[in-house]
Structure 1
Amino acid sequence: MRVTVFGATGAIGRLVVQRLLDDGHEVTALVRTPAKLALAHPRLTVRTGQLSDRAAVEQAVGGADAVISALGPSLKRSTKGSQLADGTRTLVQVMEAREVTRFIGLATPSLADPRDRPHWKHKVLPVLAGLMFPHALVELKGMTEAVTGSGLDYTIARITNPTNKAATGRVRSGFLGHDEVGSAMSRADIAAFLVSQLTDARYRRAMPAISN
């Protein structure tokens, strides 16, 4: 499968790219600083650009079977603007124009899925995020709404506490108030889950919460 990855130089994004290559996929990564990816592979194409550059996004997405986004907002309180939300809207527009319908991305349980039942995370996490990372929460909402309000065939995995522990291969997934989903999850397992959604239809147009 031909997969375009955004956020490929991040802690989860690099693992996504490596997992895709290990599984035999053709990968295109759009990054601002190619040296940060530090990966070379015959099936990896690295393009330089950013989400604000529509032409670069079009070039990266063209010919893809799916897009995986490991992008997430900055947690710095000093960060301004809506670059990621605006960029995600551009990405969605390009995907729809190019008829690339499969989108796999990330969010947090601060944002609810319609299949959730009432849960303490719905009350606590948005308050904490609003106090500690107000700009990040606004960006995350904008990014998520750009995708869920589109016609894309999306899966957005909601994560709470990513760690650098080794992969366990154990994944809990589902909807808050329905399924037993915890908080901590290794980044390696998060990456594996994202890649698995290329062929797993359980969470089409849904935002499952995931953990180890």
Structure 2
Amino acid sequence: MRIAVFGSTGRTGRLLCEHALERGHEVTAHLRNPEKLADLGPAIVRVEGELSDMASIARAIDGADVVVSALGTVDRKANTVLSDATTAILSAMEQAGVRHFAAVTSLGCGDSYGRVNSRLMKLVIRTVAKQIWADKDRQEQAIMQAGSRGEIDFLIVRPGGLTEAEPRGSWTELRGGQRSKGRQMIARADVADYILGRIGNLPFGNDTVMLV
């Protein structure tokens, strides 16, 4: 499978690249600084470019079977970084005829806010991280709209609190009004493996899943 990864140098994106290569996939990483993934060797194709650079986005997805976004931001000021980048990627996919798109957002996005167990996390989402979650909501809306138009087949993964722990190799999928008990945490490596497992069983079916 040929996989194009955006957000490839982030902590989750890098794991996606590493694990995909381990599984024998062909990986193309879109990134600002190609040196950041130089240690992965020639097995990974690195396409240098900004998220505002449509030409580099088009090069990254050329020939891809699946596009994966692990984009993130820590900018707490009002911005549209994630939603703008996602809209650009989706536009390039439509032009190139690439159908399958997976994106990592967060638990608490969209209709999942009420299923966040931690009162502290709910407070963070509604206060200091309000603008981050607002743009993630816009990002999800852009994906869902493209899916409803039949332009793409999408998977939106809303993980709980991300950790650097070793992967457990197991997780809980929650959809619709389903709830989980206890701490809603998951290792980044498990999120990467979950997405790669879904890539092995296409189509995604325009699925939105909470992962803990």
What is the TM-score with the length of structure 1 in the denominator? 0.87
State yes or no: 1:174 paired with 2:174.
Answer: yes
> Aligned letter for 1:140?
K
> Aligned letter for 2:70?
A
> Aligned letter for 2:116?
K
Q: Distance in 2 between matches of 1:119 and 1:84?
A: 23
Q: Displacement, 1:197? A: 1.4
User: Structure 1 residues 190 and 85, CA, compared in 2 at 3 Å: closer, same or farther?
Assistant: same
For residues 63-78 of structure 1, the aligned pairs below 5 Å read 63-74=63-74, 76-77=75-76
- How many pairs are equivalent? 206
Q: Displacement, 1:200? A: 3.0
User: Over aligned residue pairs, what C-alpha RMSD do you find?
Assistant: 2.4
* Contact 2:156 2:208 (C-alpha < 8 Å) held by counterparts: yes
1:194 paired residue number: 195
Aligned match of 1:139 in 125, 135, 139?
135
* Contact 2:115 2:179 (C-alpha < 8 Å) held by counterparts: no
2:95 paired residue number: 97
* Contact 1:6 1:31 (C-alpha < 8 Å) held by counterparts: yes
> Aligned letter for 2:22?
D
2:39 paired residue number: 39
For residues 158-173 of structure 1, the aligned pairs below 5 Å read 158-173=158-173
Structure 2 unmatched runs, 5+: none
* Contact 2:3 2:64 (C-alpha < 8 Å) held by counterparts: yes
What is the DSSP-based 3-state SS (H/G/I as helix, E as strand, rest coil) of the residue aligned with 2:94?
helix
Question: Quick check: which one's helix share is greater?
Answer: 2
> Aligned letter for 1:96?
E
Q: Displacement, 1:111? A: 2.2
* Contact 1:25 1:43 (C-alpha < 8 Å) held by counterparts: no
Structure 1 unmatched runs, 5+: none
Q: Distance in 2 between matches of 1:176 and 1:112?
A: 11
% of aligned pairs identical?
A: 28
State yes or no: 1:149 paired with 2:145.
Answer: yes
What is the TM-score with the length of structure 2 in the denominator? 0.87
- Deviation readout 1:149-171 (Å, 9 max, x if unpaired): 10310111111201011111011
- Deviation readout 1:159-210 (Å, 9 max, x if unpaired): 1201011111011112253364761101111111111110235852111111
Q: Distance in 2 between matches of 1:25 and 1:202?
A: 17
What is the DSSP-based 3-state SS (H/G/I as helix, E as strand, rest coil) of the residue aligned with 1:64?
coil
- Deviation readout 1:98-121 (Å, 9 max, x if unpaired): 1111011111222246xx7x9542
What is the DSSP-based 3-state SS (H/G/I as helix, E as strand, rest coil) of the residue aligned with 1:45?
strand
What is the DSSP-based 3-state SS (H/G/I as helix, E as strand, rest coil) of the residue aligned with 1:68?
strand
- Deviation readout 1:84-107 (Å, 9 max, x if unpaired): 211111111110111111011111
> Aligned letter for 1:100?
V
